[in-house]
Amino acid sequence: MANVEEHVNATAENGLSRLDLVGALAGASVEFDSRPHFISNSKTTGDNLLSVLRRQFADLGENDTFDFCVAFVSEGGLTCLVQMLSELKARGIKGRLLTSTYLNFNSPDVYRKLLTYDNIETRVYQQNLHAKGYMFNRSGLNTVIVGSSNLTDRALTCNQEWNVLFRSYGADGAVGDLKREFELLWNCSETAPLTETWISHYREYISTAMAPRPKGKAAFSDGSTIAVLGENEASSKKIKPNKMQEKALEALAALHERRDPRALLVSATGTGKTYLSAFDVKAAAPVRILFLAHRKRILTASMASYKKLLGDNYTYGLYRAGGDGTEFTCTFAMCSTICGYLEKIDAELFDYIVIDEAHRVGAKGYQRILEHFKPKFCLGMTATPNRTDGYDVFALFNHVIAYQITLQDALREDMLAPFHYFGIADLAIDEEEQSDFTLFSKLTSEARVNHIIDKIEEYSVKKDGRKGLVFCSRLEEARELAKQFTQRGYKSEAIDGSDSDAERDEVIRKLESGELEYIFSVNILNEGVDIPAVNQIIMLRRTESSIVFVQQLGRGLRKADNKESTLVLDFIGNYQQNFLIPVALSGDKTYNKDRLRAIVKEGSTVIPGASTVSFDRVSEGRIYQAIDQGDFTAARFLKDEYLGLRQMLGAIPSLLDFDRNGSIDPLLIFNKYDSYHGFLSRYEKAYDVTFSEAQENILKFVSKKLANGKRADELYLLRALLARDGAFAVVDGGKQPSAESPVGTRVAALKSATNVLNGGFSSPNWFVSLVEEGADGVLRWTDAARASLLDPEFRRQLNEVVEFGIHRHEELYAQTYRDTSFVLNAKYTYEEVCRLLGWDRSETPQNIGGYMYNEKTNTFPVFINYDKAPDISDTIKYEDRFVSDSELIGISKKRRTLASKDIQRLMAWPGNGMKIYLFVRKNTNDKGSKEFYFLGQMHPTGHFVQTMTIANENAVEIGYQLETPVRRDIYEYITSVFVEGDEA
């Protein structure tokens, strides 16, 4: 038996999947799931072909191989996999790639990048090949994916594709046929090995074959033709609003109808805010328009867009210093210029004012302009209305948001170029402990410059035509790095706030023309600059603001000719606020730690469209650490997030307002301040409500214990009591007493909920009993609850938190696992597990001790802390471990033998009908949370082995089989090992 286990462990160390512990321990052949699996690109299910391929790559061991046959390989498709391909190269895992010249789709840059992987042999079938198949060969086990997806970023992530995965031992049947077909094509006389010479010939060929065609008809080999537009005809195509702009225009039309004087348009960078404003001007038909911005470059670009769309309906020009504003009917002015001559301009001259980059309106110049002019309508446009200085931009626009287009909306609607983001471990530099000179030396050291350039080369598929923006943390760093990049052959310049507009524009022109490859800066390119040609974003600074992150990311997302996607390289140090990276990428500001971890592990299934997210092992570990250690209940953090929503709404938000607007999770407020009332009493000047101690404790109990919605029985009971003025009849037989109270369908659940509300389950010293059951079987408020509810504001707030909890339940916890009250993969505390299992009272973690049997419910929850702290007592250093995503080795409590009562109970399964549930958390480092993932029901496999703990205490090793495999991102997170300093 020991030898078999050693073999299983050795197999895992080599990177192989351990598929069936039971079969291995029995000396049988390893079993596997041979059923075909359908794969589609679905943001709903959280899976796509790219994620599946990454998992298959990750499972390859030292002697395993892979074979791909795909007609098309795009630059974006190869970029999606470049991090994994580099890891395979480092591990020496070999593969073969067969592609084609079909339609001349594949670019020479893609072929040249493939040549850099000496572990991958590439050949090109020089005829029409349209096959798509991916084969992974592991010690005789073949995993095959066939279907419709080529190796392009859209086919891997978001296109409507159908693919099927199946496994087989040996080379019989369809797998054998597929392998033989691959070998025939691989060795065919029409197939050429990929070499530099072949690529040169191919480049020369397609430069002729793909030359621009004259206007007319293009003929194809099958005799069909297609019309080809001439250049002028294509450029004169009528400009129409896209779907998102159409919805925004409808919203603006409604505002004009009700004569709102001001409104704010919140729209991500690159989504066409200027054109949208021009479309609205066209619809509203004002006599005179003033377009305000802070830079001349913005004004000239905006004026060109207005001319293109509005034509001869207006005259256009830049405001000249000292003018009275009547020179043009559509005037474009810099704020700094026009604010000096306001006394010369009639306050009612302009009917419609547009303010670009409207988050700047807190500046005195903008304030003077807005105080002076009296337009019929003023439209502010910005991608980032929330300011770090606390200024309330929303108030200036009367808290009227005409429409909002987030980065995620824009990606979903294909308004932006997709990006391929890679989190890369930066060299370990502790900025907190360095003097300025020492830090500068480290930031610009030869080792760091080599590291940055090596990674740029490693991740770049297309080497020619690189146009990158590099964001640094310090001005001196930007200047020195630009100098060193230029010395190494990468033409670069640095710009800063001391440069004039003309100087900045000249550097940008050089980048656009190809005279430069990289512009280095600190923050001055975050906004107000449109450079569609940018195809690389390099981040060399810590992420301290999700707003700044999105601003800098957005600099590279404008669509442009010959731009398939944007490469984003983020060099990540070991910083406390690294958790802001997944926040910024996803736009999810709830600060739910599990959602943030899912984005790190499977971000490509979360980000809309064809964009992808990948982290190397070290940067992934650094972000996990930041998430685990992040205190999202810190007072300043909660106040800032609350203020952002408060400013947007212009009033105290309701609890549901937080969810409706994608803001911070109110549960974080409850955890810190006991209730929303407790928070508002401290930090909201407009809130002057006071409650008695009993009222505060009732709100505390419902907010902290029930409002997460993990079980709705107590909440529905409270709703029924509030609606019936405090009386609720328990109906025998579990009949439903009313449509609004579904708890009545289960008398046992109702009894359990009653036990919780009257203090029988858990009764801390501050607890106020809420309900009591009379001899007539009717539930009523207790005297203390009834007295508290005489206050109408308290009743309103209690009802609000109850409705919030029910909303949470219906959104997140209504689809329960089998006949339990749990949701698979959701997280629960010890106390919540006891409550949701229907136990009569809560048990402390010390009493549970890793697992506990409850006789009344015949349930046996198992709790595992997967990582153990280095300083944990030797007496509890047990080695619970996953063998695969569906198998677990658990260790019993100490001083147990095969004859112990709890072990005998497990050995008696299934005859005793006991239900065993698994709850796992990675470690105890997660600040503010002591929750376990619920991973479903499991059962003993029959593997019971007497063993010893490290402290020489008796224990029993128990084999378990999970009835549902652990979801992949959770499994990889729990089992991942992070060692700081192991540079990727």
Burial label, 264 (beta-carbon count in 10 A; 0-12, 13-18, 19+): buried
Q: How far from chain centre, in Å, is Cα 854?
A: 39
Q: How many domains does the chain have?
A: 6
Q: Do 817 and 933 touch, CB atoms closer than 8 A?
A: no
CB neighbourhood size of 674 (10 A): 18
157 plus 284 within the same structural domain: no
720 plus 625 within the same structural domain: no
Average pLDDT over residues 451-479: 94
Query: Taking 50 as the threshold, does the pLDDT of residue 236 lie above it?
Result: no
* 660: in domain: no
342 plus 439 within the same structural domain: no
Average pLDDT over residues 558-570: 93
Q: How far from chain centre, in Å, is Cα 33?
A: 30
757 plus 794 within the same structural domain: yes
CA distance 179 to 220: 33
Query: Taking 70 as the threshold, does the pLDDT of residue 311 lie above it?
Result: yes
> What value does the CA radius of gyration of the chain take, rounded to a whole number of Å?
32
* 137: in domain: yes
Q: What are the contacts of 597-601 at 24+ separation with CB within 8 A?
A: 597/624, 597/627, 597/969, 597/973, 598/46, 598/969, 600/624, 600/627, 601/969, 601/972, 601/973
| 484-507 pLDDT per residue, tens | 999 999 999 999 888 888 899 899
Average pLDDT over residues 564-575: 93
Of the candidate ranges 12-26, 264-278, 544-558, the one whose mean pLDDT is the lowest = 12-26
CATH for 270: 3.40.50.300
316 plus 452 within the same structural domain: no
Query: Taking 60 as the threshold, does the pLDDT of residue 875 lie above it?
Result: no
255 plus 397 within the same structural domain: yes
pLDDT recorded at residue 140: 77
Query: Taking 80 as the threshold, does the pLDDT of residue 698 lie above it?
Result: yes
Of the candidate ranges 146-155, 722-731, 837-846, the one whose mean pLDDT is the lowest = 722-731
Of the candidate ranges 100-104, 728-732, 775-779, the one whose mean pLDDT is the lowest = 728-732
Number of H helices, E strands in the chain: 37, 34
pLDDT recorded at residue 189: 93
Q: Which of 751 and 519 is assigned the larger pLDDT?
A: 519
* 852: in domain: yes
CATH for 195: 3.30.870.10
Beta bridge partners of 142: 137, 168
Q: Confidence class of residue 435 from pLDDT cuts 50, 70 and 90?
A: low
Query: Taking 70 as the threshold, does the pLDDT of residue 2 lie above it?
Result: no
Burial label, 609 (beta-carbon count in 10 A; 0-12, 13-18, 19+): buried
CA distance 308 to 290: 17
Cα distances from 584 to residues 52, 86, 595, in angstroms, run 25, 26, 13
Of the candidate ranges 90-99, 205-214, 720-729, the one whose mean pLDDT is the lowest = 205-214
5 plus 37 within the same structural domain: no
- Return the top range by mean pLDDT from 43-47, 154-158, 314-318, 773-777: 314-318
* 835: in domain: yes
Q: For residue 765, what are the domain limits?
A: 691-813
Q: With CA atoms as reference, report the closest residue to 380 among 260, 296, 532.
A: 260
Q: Confidence class of residue 235 from pLDDT cuts 50, 70 and 90?
A: very low
Q: Which of 191 and 441 is assigned the larger pLDDT?
A: 191
* 234: in domain: no
pLDDT recorded at residue 243: 87
| 602-659 pLDDT per residue, tens | 888 888 899 999 999 899 989 988 998 888 888 988 998 999 999 999 999 999 999 9
Percentage of the chain surpassing pLDDT 70?
Answer: 88
* 651: in domain: no
| 877-900 pLDDT per residue, tens | 568 999 988 999 999 999 999 999
φ and ψ at 675, to 5 degrees? -160, 170
pLDDT recorded at residue 922: 87
Question: Over the chain, what is the mean pLDDT?
Answer: 86
Query: Taking 70 as the threshold, does the pLDDT of residue 409 lie above it?
Result: yes
Buried residues in 338-350 as b, exposed as e (16+ CB within 10 A): bbebeeebeeebb
382 plus 441 within the same structural domain: no
Average pLDDT over residues 268-295: 94
Average pLDDT over residues 335-349: 95
| 899-927 pLDDT per residue, tens | 999 999 999 999 999 999 999 998 776 66
Is the overall model pTM greater than 0.85, yes or no? no
pLDDT recorded at residue 141: 86
747 plus 832 within the same structural domain: no
* 678: in domain: no
**Any idea which residue has 């409002």 for tokens?**
707
70 plus 195 within the same structural domain: yes
CATH for 851: 2.30.280.10
Q: Which of 598 and 470 is assigned the larger pLDDT?
A: 470
Percentage of the chain surpassing pLDDT 90?
Answer: 63
* 386: in domain: yes
pLDDT recorded at residue 78: 95
CA distance 167 to 625: 36
165 plus 43 within the same structural domain: yes
pLDDT recorded at residue 219: 34
Average pLDDT over residues 68-88: 94
339 plus 363 within the same structural domain: yes
Average pLDDT over residues 756-767: 93
pLDDT recorded at residue 468: 96
Q: With CA atoms as reference, report the closest residue to 586 among 572, 594, 666, 402.
A: 594
Beta bridge partners of 961: 887, 939
The residue from 208, 228, 261 where one domain ends is: 208
Q: Confidence class of residue 928 from pLDDT cuts 50, 70 and 90?
A: low
pLDDT recorded at residue 30: 39
Q: With CA atoms as reference, report the closest residue to 144 among 132, 152, 156.
A: 132
Query: Taking 60 as the threshold, does the pLDDT of residue 3 lie above it?
Result: no
